[in-house]
Amino acid sequence: MIIKYFSWIKEHVGKSEELIVLPDHINNVNELINYLNELDKKYSLILEKKNLIKIAVNKTYSSFDTNISNNDEIAFFPPVTGG
Amino acid sequence: MSKNFPFIKIKIQNEDFDVSDEIKNLHQNNTGAIVNFIGVVRGYDEKNNQIINSMTLEHYPGMTESEIEKIVFESSQRWELTGVTVIHRVGNLKPSDQIVFVCVSSKHRQNAFDGCNFIMDWLKTKAPFWKVEENNNKKNWVSFNENDNQALKKWQK
């Protein structure tokens, strides 16, 4: 699975993307966030800012309960500020 | 309900764009009105009360384009339009540089006015771009403006 981070989330995590092997017991975005948080405290920001952070699964806006698999691309980013 | 688009252009790019050239591209036989919006970099951050030396924009390649396509498609469903151009720059920009260009054409003016306004409002809230303002050595990620969400209410059916 590819995980992408943008804006200040990218700066906090220290990378723009990473490849992970999704454990079998992780079925949705919520579970992925909890799993990442257990791996390393740097991911706790995503948990803490859960009400603010946007999620895309395969480049489509998604929610915390969206189902995911190892072939998916997940992105975490702040509310957008273009234009 | 769906209208034919003789012209659609969506581009994310580092380079500047020539507004005059882009508008000319929308001059067509079936067009009687062309409305455009240009967003430019402000040299001053009113919220934090400081000068902006430069601004860097990042986006999510692939998703940004597809979100803009969805917005343009929705505008074409709502109004009879003859063309749409959306150009958004990324990378490092300086005050008064052009950031975004939305140009909408139609047979008569009201559709072009509404279409342009609609596309800009949705782009501000959905298209994945993020701005960071730079002032000397300080960086400040621009936060989402709640007024942009309020602006969407006028488009509720």
ipTM: 0.96
pLDDT value at B19 more than 80: yes
Are residues A78 and B141, on separate chains, in Cβ contact within 8 Å? Answer: yes
Are residues A81 and B39, on separate chains, in Cβ contact within 8 Å? Answer: no
Question: Which pLDDT does position B5 carry in this prediction?
Answer: 57
Question: Which pLDDT does position B45 carry in this prediction?
Answer: 86
Question: Which pLDDT does position B14 carry in this prediction?
Answer: 98
CA distances from B140 to A14, A17, B119 (A): 17, 22, 27
- Range of A41's domain? 2-77
Q: Is B56 an 8 Å CB contact of chain A?
A: no
B14 close to B88: Cβ distance less than 8 angstroms: no
| In chain B, % of residues over pLDDT 90 | 87
Domain ranges of chain B: 7-141
Nearest residue, CB atoms, A80 vs list B39, B99, B130: B130
pLDDT value at B2 more than 60: no
Let me know if residue A48 belongs to a domain: yes
- Please name the residue that has the structure tokens 């009400």: A51
Among B76, B131, B74, B138, smallest CA distance to B106 is for B76
- Side chain identity at residue B85, one-letter code: T
Q: Is B130 an 8 Å CB contact of chain A?
A: yes
**For residue A7, which residues of chain B lie inside 8 Å, CB to CB?**
58, 130, 132, 141
Q: Is B39 an 8 Å CB contact of chain A?
A: yes
Are residues A81 and B59, on separate chains, in Cβ contact within 8 Å? Answer: no
Let me know if residue A83 belongs to a domain: no
Task: Residue B105: count other Cβ atoms within 10 Å of its Cβ.
Answer: 27
Let me know if residue A46 belongs to a domain: yes
The predicted-structure confidence for B25-74, as pLDDT tens digits, reads as follows 999 999 999 999 999 999 998 888 889 999 999 999 999 999 999 999 99
Backbone phi and psi for residue B20, each to the nearest 5 degrees, phi listed first: -60, -45
Among A15, A17, A35, A13, smallest CA distance to A26 is for A35
Q: Does domain B7-141 have CATH number 3.90.1170.40?
A: yes
Q: Is A51 an 8 Å CB contact of chain B?
A: no
CA distances from B33 to A22, B59, B71, B72, B85 (A): 52, 31, 20, 17, 14
Let me know if residue A82 belongs to a domain: no
- Please name the residue that has the structure tokens 């509310």: A79
Nearest residue, CB atoms, B129 vs list A8, A59, A81: A81
Backbone phi and psi for residue B130, each to the nearest 5 degrees, phi listed first: -135, 135
**Global pTM value:** 0.94
The predicted-structure confidence for A8-54, as pLDDT tens digits, reads as follows 999 999 999 999 999 999 999 999 999 999 999 999 999 999 999 99
Q: Is A8 an 8 Å CB contact of chain B?
A: yes
Question: Which pLDDT does position B1 carry in this prediction?
Answer: 43
Q: How far is CA B145 from the centre of its chain?
A: 16
What CATH number does residue A66 fall under?
A: 3.10.20.30
